[in-house]
A and B are shown apart, each in its own frame.
Chain A
């Protein structure tokens, strides 16, 4: 038996949590999320098993989808919290209790953010099954969980701010989701639009994209978090802005939303906004220039031999071979780059070697006359068909005004036959079972509630 009164924020949170979870809204969203993640995981696992996708990239994509869906769920639920109550005429009743306005907002925020840990747990189960080792699983969960939590909570707070300010639920949902979509839009720009100064600037200023970039570099490209930390500035600034506005607006929660709206046209507010925008641009520009210094220069080259000329494989198989570059010239050779090329013999189209091999190119240090360099290559047979692989040795030009003559190896003829799996990576039970389990939990919960009501009526 409880003898102490419950704090107002927890009362509101409990009520909202019950409404969200017992009412079925949170579970419905999680079921949809688990279906989406299940299908994605299944496809990713199929591709991974076919060696189309490295395991790190698969883990990154699961984390990316989880964060994206998590922040949309956060915005969707938080955008309804205050303006929804305004529209349903239940806000006035809540504003009449002596609980502090900021406590009411805090309680609602806790509830709106509550699906995120559940979404993260679902993603963790997928990651656990699909990660080939504990390092990939641990890193994905650590960085995905940490940055995802900051990003999702920031967007949940943003949705709540819109809800605090908006008079109607429709407005807050529209604005909240539109802004979240606008943040996602740059990730859909064509590749060329994402490069260049403006492309990088937009990426740096966009918290969603900068988190994606950070996670990709750290989880997929084996870069260190310290090295990539500059990507997180926009996330930090966004989170601080949301916290700042929340601290301003929450105690001003009112019947119309007018009081909670900051007076941005006031000179002091204008100055603060100016400083924040200038800071954001400076940080982004610094980060962009940081990113540009990491590009590299190519070099020069000679004679090349390939270890095998014909391979038969099934989709998903991996095989290794070597190329030998021999230098017979005078003096030291220039630096060289050896690039793998793959052509579909069926229609003559070139195939993206990045999908077929973890290494598209390898560099060779300058060779002395008579010296030989042996390079190991791995090819993942991805798609059924008839292919020819060949290596091109590219010597570095002697100066910026000169060119060099690349040299191609003999071809490696590759024939790939189809292979299928019904349970790639062992993910099928989780991918298809998770939505069913969640749906059963929801049905059980509804049944228990009805039973409780029926018993109390009796």
Chain B
């Protein structure tokens, strides 16, 4: 079980290191269709109140993995548990999860209240309790004013919010959201992202978020699992995973009139090998640092990056922009999934 503790909080909080706090534990999940293996020994865990980004290119096995975890598909082998309930008991698991599938259809002739009331009743609530739950959830997702309108009149963003409300009718331990912001405008995406964060932070539910929007995952998620050809190629906290892909190249944007001065100054900073103006972007300098893989001293690039920035500030050279090669989730994702 120790490998599940790879997924820990960024601040290393002890609560998240305790494997007993895991509400979702997947062990060696495997799925094959005849000769094709869609998922190979998937193992990870997730703690309550945290958001896990589940990433991978098309055909990586994300949907298969999610469908297994939400009991729509049976694994060929392996085991998982949700809220302490094992995968051998799918009906009980369904009581503990909430799901927003990627392409969830809605009955257009029902109102939002009727829709949520219907699903809440499936979880054993009486008609009165179910309606109260429906109204509360509509308020939570910001649809209280449209609850009595036909779903057919909802915009895509409203339907997605209704779908999330449906996923919450049973007060789930784990919520699975598959591409919740797909097709939404930036404002709609922003609203939904803050809703997802509230589900984790305020309700204390663990959230598994499948998304192709890597900026969204970087911004919203605590942890991340990256799949490629059915196998996990990276897992851990977002910063850990990003850190694994950092390279020895830093880019800084300086006012054009100070480029030469900055180039000379930075070339003398300890740890810097060479400084060259960027050929692709005007006003940028590319600062190559020593390769830590060669030093074998286990140092972090953070130290050298900080020295570069401090030197610029001490020399009163304005810093207009700054980026580290490999410092975004997108870089890691491409690096891990596009390699042959």
Contacts and interface: CB of A to CB of B under 8 A. Distances in A.
Interface in A7-66: 8, 11, 15, 19, 22-23
Interface string A431-458: 0000000000000000000000100110
A5 B124 contact: yes
Interface string B98-141: 01010111110101000000110111111110000000000000
A4 B94 CA distance: 21
Interface stretch (B49-57, B67-75, B228-236): B67-75
Interface stretch (A92-100, A192-200, A363-371): A92-100
Contacts of B107: 19, 90
A5 B103 CA distance: 29
Interface in A107-123: none
A97 B109 contact: no
B67 A255 contact: yes
Contacts of A255: 67, 72-73
Q: How large is the interface on B (under 10, 10 to 19, 20 to 34, 35 or more residues)?
A: 20 to 34
Contact of B72 (A8, A100, A254): A254
A99 B125 CA distance: 13
B126 A97 contact: no
Contacts of A5: 121, 124-126
Interface in B71-111: 71-73, 91-92, 94-95, 97, 99, 101, 103-107, 109, 111
Nearest to A2: B127
A168 to B, nearest CB: 14
A349 to B, nearest CB: 58
Per DSSP, chain A at the interface is: loop
A89 interface: yes
A88 interface: yes
B104 A92 contact: yes
B148 interface: yes
Contact of B97 (A2, A96, A254): A96
B150 interface: yes
Nearest to A86: B105
Contacts of B92: 98
Nearest to B150: A453
Q: How large is the interface on A (under 10, 10 to 19, 20 to 34, 35 or more residues)?
A: 20 to 34
Contacts of B125: 5
Interface centre among A88, A95, A100, A255, by most B CB within 10 Å? A95
A22 B109 contact: yes
B149 interface: yes
A329 B95 CA distance: 95
Interface in A235-273: 254-255
B236 to A, nearest CB: 29
Contacts of A85: 105
A296 interface: no
Interface of A: 1-6, 8, 11, 15, 19, 22-23, 85, 88-90, 92-93, 95-100, 254-255, 453, 456-457
Interface of B: 67, 70-73, 91-92, 94-95, 97, 99, 101, 103-107, 109, 111, 118-119, 121-128, 148-150, 166
The 10 nearest A-B residue pairs measured at CB? A89-B105, A456-B148, A97-B122, A90-B105, A88-B105, A98-B94, A5-B124, A92-B101, A98-B95, A89-B103
